[in-house]
Structure 1
């Protein structure tokens, strides 16, 4: 039996607030559907499993529903069954029963499993919905009662403790299950971790990962050194898994299937090592040597300013102008004055500054106000920096929580 296993589709996700990224997530899903239909014709794929987080939100928009309907209708027309479980994004913890997957189930496009199973000959596919860690005992007990005498494949959307994920994941602790508490006589078609083809070291469990790039650490990454860009890693692969189930031996052979054609996501790390602003600005010219066409670009400026110089002196607001053709350029500053303990305050407010820049692209007055605030923060003058932001941006009481005691 040949099964396509995907997870963490996150339809409707407007990553970085961009409608274009929501479209990217939709296109990744539809490319996966195309690939599965091709595998049906070439190799005879029998079944598709979606191990949670089909949607990014439990209240998807009509257009997001339409994308799901379009994809699953094509699978149905190709004679492929689809089994889906809910992830933590598909339904609220308070009311997991009310979720958008039930709509697709009632339309006959998918089979929704929530503590249920479907038998395909000697293969039993069991589906359990995502639960918080403190509810795991009840879930595991129910799972044991659902196991059959043949080959058991368990669909689950949890972090199985011990899986060696590399990148930070939100709510890991909240949805964790120790591997030792799970039955050993099953293969686990798991979701929740977004890294492609991540294997658990002690359990028969593999994560297909998300279909689209989720975290900036997955980006194609370059470092600007001496005015030249050096590539340090390519963009992480994305895709789904093909499970070849041998009903006789009970073995499940896992084959990663990589998707192609997604948007380039680029990170450029620019180090400031105390050199004077004139030298730094000369080196910035190297940013323009890369093809950024239609890419989402994050530039991380990191390090220490030269003695006697301020953030404004370095002209960090020039960076965006050196990167042409990108979907969007996001500049993140994490700099401090050399040898200044007070300068470390910059790091505590970097998220505020990043948010303000995101909302104010192209407004020179706003950028100048933010850079001036950075200077003040570097000197430990946090309250004055907040006042600058309030006056320059009209934020008023919205930033009162930034006052430090």
Structure 2
């Protein structure tokens, strides 16, 4: 069986104020072409299909057209919800979609009920785990301590392994999480509350392949546990990361091969540094006139109207920073710089230390803060 593992489509996301819808649909068309050319049996989308819990009508159109093209190419489609998705909206009419072999898995109770497919070697059970925020599922299992995302995934993976032991056969698990060992990017910082999203790699022991989503760069945590990353670049921090999907092949005994398949990059991302006059006039930068640009200006004095001037030459200049080559060091570090690499929980802890003359939060207070951020994220996910 041949499986194409993708994730994090983020239909509807903007890039520094610019729509990415048209570019994303062109990349998804290329994905459909790969499905045809490589005779893919199953396409997996491991969460974050949409970027918002309230997608616009044209964003639904992108998803509808892509799913139709994938089915027209002869593949089964299995989709799970991510933390950016509204499980209710994504899962609307999923029962009808299932009749067309498009399996949209968004309800918590579906985690240990596999989509079972057949090939010449027998059954392959695909377990889709929707994004399970602890505060939304712990009431279902009152006898189990489900405080963190790692607790929830450990619990559901035990149930999956028990179900698989009864069924027998090969298996694939789909999950949207931040597994230990994965390198993050700045586009996901806003939905990490403390350590709630970190899940030990050993949690996923057992299945023949684990298709992960949530991290926007490809990563192989082991031979059988991988992130595919997003199909588009959604941040300049991802500029050097390839875009594509994992082509996974299962044989009679389980995982056989895993191959990376590149997807096209509609517009490359480039960082340029220098004084504004050099960037505007030098022919050395002609090749970047059609690229997305993040520009760092090194002029000693901030140039007037820098962005519109740059955009007259570089239409797709999206990000501008002034970092003078000569800087007077007054020893003062800005608040933004101090918190740049801190999580939301760490920022709150730092505030408490400040107002309490150096005494940070107690363990109980830290847990309450973490739960509060998790609850906020959970409410956003259900809108």
Structure 2 counterpart of 1:236, from 233, 241, 255: 241
Judged with a 3 Å threshold, the aligned counterparts in structure 2 of structure 1 residues 5 and 185 are, in CA distance, closer, same or farther, namely closer
Judged with a 3 Å threshold, the aligned counterparts in structure 2 of structure 1 residues 35 and 182 are, in CA distance, closer, same or farther, namely closer
Calculate the TM-score normalised by the size of structure 1: 0.67
Residues 1:150 and 2:169 are matched in the alignment: yes
Greater RCO between the two (CA within 8 Å, min separation 6)?
A: 2
Structure 2 counterpart of 1:103, from 93, 96, 103: 93
1:194: which partner in 2? 216
1:7: which partner in 2? 7
Q: In 1, Cα distance between the equivalents of 2:90 and 2:276?
A: 51
1:30: which partner in 2? 29
Structure 1 counterpart of 2:114, from 90, 107, 117: 117
Residues 1:209 and 2:229 are matched in the alignment: yes
The count of aligned residue pairs is: 305
Judged with a 3 Å threshold, the aligned counterparts in structure 2 of structure 1 residues 83 and 346 are, in CA distance, closer, same or farther, namely closer
Q: How far apart are residue 349 of structure 1 and its match?
A: 11
Task: Give the 3-state SS of the residue equivalent to 1:102 in structure 2.
Answer: coil
Does the 8 Å CA contact 1:239/1:256 hold for their aligned counterparts?
Answer: yes
Q: How far apart are residue 330 of structure 1 and its match?
A: 2.4
Residues 1:330 and 2:319 are matched in the alignment: yes
Q: In 1, Cα distance between the equivalents of 2:335 and 2:278?
A: 24
Calculate the TM-score normalised by the size of structure 2: 0.70
Q: In 1, Cα distance between the equivalents of 2:21 and 2:323?
A: 28
Structure 1 counterpart of 2:54, from 56, 59, 67: 59
Q: In 2, Cα distance between the equivalents of 1:36 and 1:291?
A: 33
Paired residues for 1:312-331 under 5 Å? 312=302, 315=303, 317-318=305-306, 321-322=309-310, 324-331=313-320
Residues 1:167 and 2:162 are matched in the alignment: no
2:255: which partner in 1? 251
4+ runs of 1 displaced by more than 6 Å? none
Q: Deviations over 1:275-314 (max 9, x none)?
A: xxxxx56644447623234422110236x94xxxxx34xx
Query: Which blocks of at least 5 consecutive residues in structure 2 are unaligned?
Result: 134-148, 341-383
User: What is the aligned-residue RMSD (CA, Å)?
Assistant: 3.0
Q: Deviations over 1:184-231 (max 9, x none)?
A: 3432011111113x1004x62011110000221222xxxxxxxxxxxx
The structure whose Rg is larger is 1
Q: How far apart are residue 350 of structure 1 and its match?
A: 12
Structure 1 counterpart of 2:156, from 139, 147, 153: 139
